[in-house]
Amino acid sequence: MGIVLDQSEIERSLKRIAHEIIERNHGLDSVILLGIPTRGVTMAHRIGALLGLIEKAVPVGTLDITMFRDDLRLRPPRALLPTQIPAGGLEGRDLVLVDDVLFSGRTIRAALDAIGELGRPNSVQLAVLIDRGHRKLPIRADYVGKNIPTNLRENVKVQLLEIDGNDRVEVSL
């Protein structure tokens, strides 16, 4: 299938998501962003920067969900990635989880478990760049860059400038 989003489309998607976050939460006073490593963190920082330009800066943190996964035993142990909860915590905030691709929903389930241990936010919302379908859990995204119907054998690869040297999303077999 090749490239499904290029650099300008990614930028546009993130801008739209930023606007939707402001709209949905009636401002940004209580909003906090939590990126899921690795590319979710980059996205969270970009969205955070956009929010800063549009309205005001919000706290941006990272949440590694490795230790909360239910599929750990299917692969060799993975190295843990950074977790950085913004000062002030999650209590009473409107928390937006940010990840690159929404697929089975297991990662988000793990993230919800982790958040449950961290405190009691007012709400938890989910922003993803790509929703490729095939959910195995009752989870949906609140903000979606692009819906891309895929089959299970296909591979969705998100590349971001800060990590991969360029911005694009590819689907390949």
**Residue ranges that bind other proteins, judged by CB under 8 A:** 64, 67-69, 72-85, 89, 113-114, 117-119
Beta carbon nearer to other proteins, 6 or 70: 70
**Shortest approach of other proteins to residue 67 CB, angstroms?**
4
Strand boundaries in the chain, DSSP class E: 2-5, 31-35, 60-62, 94-102, 123-131, 143-147, 155-159, 168-172
The letter for the amino acid at 140 is: R
Rounded Cα–Cα distance for residues 105 and 107 (Å) = 6
**Shortest approach of other proteins to residue 169 CB, angstroms?**
28
Beta carbon nearer to other proteins, 13 or 62: 62
Beta carbon nearer to other proteins, 79 or 173: 79
For residue 38, is the peptide bond before it cis, meaning its omega torsion is within 30 degrees of 0? yes
**Shortest approach of other proteins to residue 78 CB, angstroms?**
7
